[in-house]
Each structure stands twice: as C-alpha cells, then as structure tokens.
C-alpha cells in the first residue's frame, strides 16, 4: 500500500470520528491502568460493569491495596482470569506506592515492570492517559492492518513496528483508537461489513463482502465529500466517564 492510500484512509477515519477514545470508563491514569489490565481476554463492556462498582470503593493504589486480593476478587469475579488479575493488581499497587509515589509512571520500561502489564497495556496507557503517539496492537488492529494491507505482518510486534513507520505523523496519536474501533464495528473477524466501510475502495482485501458497484459508489461519494462529512462512521466510542476522585 502506498503513502497516498494511507493518508486517504486516515483522513476518512478522522472525518468519521474526529475525536476517538477508548470505550473503557475511567477517571484517572491509575483507573485506566486497572481497566486495561482487567480487559485482557475480556470485553470492555464486562470491564466497565465491574469497575463501576470497584471504583466506588477503590479509586487509588492505596485504596485498592487495602482491599487485598480477597477483597478485590468479588468485584471482578465476572471477568476471565480474575484471580490472577487480582494478584497482579494488588502487587502493582504496592509497587506504585513504594516506587512511584502512588502515581502511574509515564515510562514504558517502568510500566512493563508492573505485574500483568505487557507492551500492549503499556502502549494503551501511554497513548490514552498521557497522549503519547504509541499504537497498541490487539486482535482487532492486527486483523485490520493485515486485511487492508495497511501494515501487514506475521506477529503483533511486526505490525506495531510497521504501523509506527507508515502511519503519517499527524495521525499517530489517534491511530490506535481509529483502527480498533474500525475492527470492532466494521472490519469484523467473521463477516466484515464492507458495504458500510468508509475505506472500502482503498482497502486491498480481496474477498470484500460488497459488490463492485458499492465500492465504486463509495469512491465517488468520498471524492466529493469534504473533511467534515461523517461518511460511513462506525459506532461512536462512548465518551470517557469521569469517576469521582
């Protein structure tokens, strides 16, 4: 895929969703870190349901540490791997308090030293909480990058590195959110909704689920549309709900 196509793809994704954000609900960087750790192999909906109650009683590392593993588990029992996640979060709280003054570090190496925090989680926190131009590659982004031809790769890290090289600078900060939402609601795994896709005529996927006429019509509409048009927008991400602190 050439640079002009990539520019056009992100221009359309931005037109469809000018201010993308995570669907996880949080109020502070610490709450985002907790939510992202819990989201591994779980849906954002299930995490938001659990953290809505949890953040009423534990909004800081000190408060969460005070719950302990046994006190935390009832709040997250509906989430997969809850026992391991509870142990990791309590250990993380202890490290944050002892080594970082109770604050979430704005440093990849420090983040990845926290229990249960890998490169993807660190990327999400750096991007969403601190505005760093990182791209966390999850299953949705991996699929979109390969299927469209945007940044093909055999591994998650290969896709991430390629995206960091080829995504135009002006789109780096929001690329993660655009691609994950596109993969979640439009470019779905089993049956991509090509007929609703704002970039279908730019996508290099060979097995599109719409007709050639639909692709041509999309191209024509995109050509005459302005940057303010919200063509083919995927479902909007919900605004972040600020929790009481």
The angle formed by the CA atoms of residues 54, 173 and 241, to the nearest 5 degrees, is 25
Q: What is the pLDDT of residues 5-33, one digit of tens each?
A: 999 999 999 999 999 999 999 999 999 99
Residue 161 is among the residues annotated as catalytic for this protein: no
The count of other CB atoms within 10 Å of the CB of residue 219 is 12
Query: Where do the domains of the chain lie, and which CATH numbers do they carry?
Result: 3-21+134-224 (1.10.1670.10), 29-128 (1.10.340.30)
Task: Indicate if the pLDDT at residue 114 is higher than 90.
Answer: yes
**Model confidence band, residue 219 (pLDDT cutoffs 50, 70, 90):** low
Shortest CA distance to 26 belongs to which of 16, 40, 39?
A: 39
The rounded distance, in Å, linking the Cα atoms of 119 and 111 is 9
The rounded distance, in Å, linking the Cα atoms of 136 and 117 is 12
Cα torsion through 93, 94, 95, 101, rounded to 10: 80
Q: What is the pLDDT of residues 157-188, one digit of tens each?
A: 999 999 999 999 999 999 999 999 999 999 99
- Average pLDDT over the chain reads 88
Which residue in 44, 138, 174, 201 is the catalytic one? 138
Instruction: Please tell me which residue, 186 or 208, carries the higher pLDDT value.
Output: 186
194 within 8 A of 208, measured Cβ to Cβ: yes
Shortest CA distance to 239 belongs to which of 22, 13, 18?
A: 22
CA-based torsion, 68, 73, 76, 81: positive or negative: positive
HSE-up of 147 (CA within 13 Å, CB side)? 23
pLDDT of residue 217: 62
Task: Indicate if the pLDDT at residue 60 is higher than 50.
Answer: yes
171 within 8 A of 10, measured Cβ to Cβ: yes
Supply 149's token pair: 């031809």
Contacts of 175 (CB under 8 A, 6+ apart): 10, 135, 163, 167
Supply 208's token pair: 């599109």
pLDDT of residue 222: 57
Report the number of secondary-structure helices (H) and strands (E) in the chain.
Answer: 11, 0
Q: What is the pTM of this model?
A: 0.83
Q: What is the pLDDT of residues 153-165, one digit of tens each?
A: 999 999 999 999 9
Residue 87 is among the residues annotated as catalytic for this protein: no
Which residue in 120, 174, 201, 208 is the catalytic one? 120
């Amino acid at each position: 895929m050439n640079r002009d196509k990539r520019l056009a793809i992100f221009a359309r994704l931005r037109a469809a969703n000018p201010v993308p954000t995570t669907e996880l609900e949080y109020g502070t960087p610490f709450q985002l870190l907790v939510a992202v750790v819990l989201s591994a192999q779980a849906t954002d909906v299930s995490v938001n349901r659990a953290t809505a109650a949890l953040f009423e009683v534990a909004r800081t590392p000190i408060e969460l540490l005070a719950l302990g593993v046994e006190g935390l588990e009832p709040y997250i029992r509906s989430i997969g791997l809850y026992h391991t996640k509870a142990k990791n979060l309590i250990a993380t709280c202890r490290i944050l308090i002892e080594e970082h003054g109770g604050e979430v570090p704005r440093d990849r190496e420090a983040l990845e030293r926290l229990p249960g925090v890998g490169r993807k989680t660190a990327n999400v926190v750096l991007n969403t909480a601190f505005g760093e131009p990182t791209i966390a590659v999850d299953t949705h982004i991996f699929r979109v990058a390969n299927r469209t031809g945007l940044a093909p790769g055999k591994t998650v890290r290969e896709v991430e590195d390629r995206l960091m090289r080829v995504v135009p600078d002006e789109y780096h900060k929001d690329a993660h959110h655009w691609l994950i939402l596109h993969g979640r609601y439009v470019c779905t795994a089993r049956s991509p909704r090509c007929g609703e896709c704002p970039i279908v005529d730019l996508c290099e996927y060979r097995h599109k689920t719409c007709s050639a006429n639909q692709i041509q019509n999309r191209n024509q509409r995109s050509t005459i549309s302005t940057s303010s048009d919200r063509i083919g927008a995927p479902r909007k991400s919900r605004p972040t709900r600020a929790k009481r602190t």
